[in-house]
């Protein structure tokens, strides 16, 4: 499939990463990242895209932050691409936005072409369209403008001749979008006004478009220099000039989302679906995902294995977590069994998410308690009568004893089968501390007691006073009463708690709880 120009030569894929939001890379770009052996990326490409890259791939950061840190010169980057491809590697050169729009993509490809190296280019969403879109400015609009120009603002204002013909741009184009123009903003504004553009023309400056850090300011050619200075907006930012900017008043949507600008620490297990993060981000929040637990299999499955041998003797199987469902089926399949072998016992889950996952394994839960806790489940079972019943509880190695004890107390035989372990992860401790020290965090979310305990262990505060200092101004959301109790037992206060213990309800409660601030 690979087109090769020289025997043994690799290929370079010049891929547009999009403007910032990692969701804006193309499917082709993602596909290539997954298959790359080497990824050469720079400052504007979102690091979160690197999660698609295979762990065995080599990653090279080449910086290039407009004048601030030139970690590699363009010549060095070109040489690097030639070198990797020459060694037969599949290289992805990942660039912010679109590689061919002020991205020096053309220069890199000329060098590759000169060396006879095969290449492909994958376009990306350029930051101009992203900035306009996410600032609520249609870059063209029938009622306002029929033309757009993308220009660079990077030109040295002291240069005697300019590549930009300001006299034509100023009055000949409807919407003007300026890349790399913040430093030269006064010069750009002056040129446009001097060449006949009205000083009342609306202008928007948008920084880090499409990301949770997006910041924007709107003014006119007459005011924008002062507006930008006052707002403190720094590069990377785009300048959008033209009558279309007015439309933002009615269709600004991105920055209006309920959690926009909120910083939330989401504690969770690495394996858990990122439903919570996705929901919070959809509402505009910027999430710091902090894995406080790693889920690992147990060394010894003896109890579960024995139970599976005589699974038809059980009246109930109880699933109290998503991880229990996953690890149970993993083991079931490993033993050559499947859902058909479970037709004997009735099956209960602690809540709705667990039941939904169970359904993916082909089983409709027979019982979901109205209250999604171990106690709630125990109560529902007691109501049905458990005396003399055989109950299998596959779960974490260390778990709460309330459910098995209550059931045993009512005369049931309960087999507790440990099938996974919660292990606190090592990394990210420093990052978490730094995040809290910065003082920008609005909220921490907890979805189980273990996340609370492990979070506290990771924060590693010297004493209660230090813990309170680190968490001052930070609200706490707990998914349910058990988790909440673990929080209050640690001397902290729960600010947000949903009435129904599910992730969607938790998201709703967070939106509600932070709105009133």
- The residue ranges that bind ligand SAH (CB under 6 A) are 19-20, 44, 66, 95-98, 101-103, 126-127, 131, 179-180, 206-210, 235-238
Question: From the CB of 238, what's the least distance to ligand SAH, in Å?
Answer: 4
Q: Are 271 and 301 in contact (CB under 8 A)?
A: no
CB of 310 to ligand SAH, least distance (A): 60
CB closer to ligand SAH out of 92 and 238? 238
The CA distance from 225 to 228, in Å, is: 5
Residue nearest to ligand SAH according to CB distances in the complex: 97
What span, in angstroms and rounded, lies between the C-alpha atoms of 383 and 517? Answer: 43
Per the document, the length of the chain is 517
8 A C-beta contact, residue 13 and residue 125: no
Known active-site residue 180: yes
Q: Which of 399, 423, 396, 425 is nearest to 291 (CA)?
A: 425
* Residue with smaller CB distance to ligand SAH, 73 or 171: 73
- CB–CB of 243/144 below 8 Å? yes
Rounded-to-integer distance, Cα 197 and Cα 195, Å = 6
> Which ranges of 361-480 does DSSP label H, i.e. alpha helix?
374-384, 402-409, 429-437, 449-459, 464-470
Question: How near is the Cβ of 43 to ligand SAH at its closest, in Å?
Answer: 9
Instruction: Choose the catalytic residue: 11, 21, 64, 227.
Output: 64
Nearer to ligand SAH, 228 or 237 (CB): 237
Residue 42 bears catalytic tag: yes
Neighbouring CB atoms inside 10 A of 106's CB total 11
> Which CB atom, from 44 or from 264, has the smaller least distance to ligand SAH?
44
Out of 11, 21, 42, 442, the active site residue is 42
Which residues, listed in sequence order, are joined to residue 152 by a DSSP beta bridge?
179
State the minimum distance, in angstroms, from the CB of residue 1 to ligand SAH. 28
Q: What are phi and psi of 237, to 5 degrees?
A: -145, 155
Give CA–CA dist 267/448, Å, rounded: 9
Shortest distance in whole angstroms from residue 38 CB to ligand SAH: 20
Under 8 Å between Cβ of 430 and 401: no
Nearer to ligand SAH, 38 or 238 (CB): 238
Minimum CB separation of residue 95 from ligand SAH in Å reads 6
64 is catalytic: yes
Q: Are strands 202-207 and 237-241 parallel, antiparallel or unpaired?
A: antiparallel
Of 248 and 389, nearer to ligand SAH (C-beta) is 248
* Per annotation, catalytic residue among 11, 21, 98, 180: 180
Separation between Cα atoms, residue 118 and residue 457, nearest integer Å: 51
Radius of gyration (C-alpha) of the chain in whole angstroms: 29
Catalytic site positions: 42, 64, 180
């Amino acid at each position: 499939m690979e087109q090769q120009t020289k025997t043994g030569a690799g290929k370079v894929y010049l891929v547009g990463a999009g403007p910032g939001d990692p969701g804006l890379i193309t499917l082709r770009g993602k596909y290539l990242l997954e298959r790359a052996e080497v990824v050469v990326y720079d400052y504007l490409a979102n690091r979160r895209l690197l999660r698609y890259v295979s762990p065995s791939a080599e990653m090279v950061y080449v910086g290039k932050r407009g004048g601030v840190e030139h970690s590699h010169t363009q010549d060095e980057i070109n040489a690097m691409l030639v070198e990797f491809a020459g060694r037969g590697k599949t290289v992805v050169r990942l660039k912010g936005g679109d590689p061919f729009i002020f991205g020096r993509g053309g220069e890199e490809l000329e060098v590759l072409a000169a060396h006879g190296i095969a290449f492909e280019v994958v376009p990306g969403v350029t930051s101009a369209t992203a900035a306009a879109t996410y600032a609520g400015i249609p870059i063209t609009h029938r009622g306002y403008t029929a033309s757009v120009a993308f220009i660079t603002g990077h030109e040295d204002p002291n240069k005697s001749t300019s590549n930009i013909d300001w006299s034509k741009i100023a009055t000949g184009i409807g919407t003007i979008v300026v890349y790399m123009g913040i430093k030269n903003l006064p010069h750009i504004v002056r040129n446009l006004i001097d060449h006949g553009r009205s000083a009342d023309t609306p202008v928007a400056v948008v920084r880090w478009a499409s990301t949770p850090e997006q910041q924007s300011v709107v003014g006119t050619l007459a005011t924008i220099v002062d507006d930008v200075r006052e707002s403190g907006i720094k590069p990377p930012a785009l300048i959008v000039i033209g009558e279309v900017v007015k439309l933002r008043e009615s269709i600004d949507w991105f920055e209006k989302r309920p959690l926009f600008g909120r910083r939330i620490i989401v504690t969770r297990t690495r394996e858990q679906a990122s439903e919570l993060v996705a929901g919070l981000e959809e509402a505009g929040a910027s999430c710091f995902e902090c894995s406080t637990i790693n889920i690992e299999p147990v060394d010894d499955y003896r109890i579960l294995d024995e139970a599976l041998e005589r699974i038809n003797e059980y009246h109930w199987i109880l699933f109290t977590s998503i991880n229990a469902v996953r690890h149970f089926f993993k083991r079931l399949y490993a033993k050559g069994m499947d859902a058909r072998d479970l037709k004997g016992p009735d099956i209960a889950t602690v809540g709705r998410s667990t039941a939904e996952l169970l359904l993916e394994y082909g089983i409709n839960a027979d019982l979901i308690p109205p209250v999604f806790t171990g106690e709630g489940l125990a109560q529902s079972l007691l109501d049905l009568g458990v005396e003399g019943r055989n109950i299998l509880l596959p779960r974490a190695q260390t778990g709460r004893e309330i459910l098995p004890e209550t059931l045993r107390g009512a005369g049931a035989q309960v087999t507790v089968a440990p099938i996974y372990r919660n292990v606190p992860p090592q990394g990210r401790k420093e990052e978490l501390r730094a995040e809290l020290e910065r003082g920008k965090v609005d909220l921490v979310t907890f979805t189980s007691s273990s996340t609370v305990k492990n979070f506290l262990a990771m924060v590693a505060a010297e004493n209660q006073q230090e813990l309170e200092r680190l968490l001052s101004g930070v609200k706490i959301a707990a998914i349910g009463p058990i988790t909440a109790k673990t929080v209050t037992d640690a001397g902290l206060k729960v600010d947000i708690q949903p009435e129904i213990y599910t992730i969607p309800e938790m998201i709703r409660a967070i939106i509600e709880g932070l709105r009133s601030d």
